[in-house]
Amino acid sequence: MSPEQLLALADIFTAEYPARVRSYSALVAAASVTTARLHGVAVLTSPTHTSAALAETLRRLEPLTSSNAEFAAFCARVYERRAAGEGDF
């Protein structure tokens, strides 16, 4: 997931929840979890582990002004669906 894709999810989410983006750098950092590699080897090897790590990172970094736990769960669901081929994101 790219930072731009995560920002698009934040835009969708904040249209429904009373929150706004507090930290764009936190969004970029969280997005990097989904593509993390060391010496060319993926750090997280399954979509389940990756979505869980994405959610945990979003909860800890709190990129929104509120509702970060809900945002984390939303993004994890979107990531899992995308990984399963159920989305274009």
User: What is the pTM assigned to this prediction?
Assistant: 0.91
Report pLDDT digits (tens) over 23-59: 999 999 999 999 999 999 989 989 999 999 999 999 9
What 3-state class would DSSP assign to 81? helix
Element of type H or E holding 72 = helix 68-83
pLDDT at 69: 98
DSSP 3-59: HHHHHHHHHHHHHHSS--BS-HHHHHHHHHHTT-EETTEES--SHHHHHHHHHHHHH
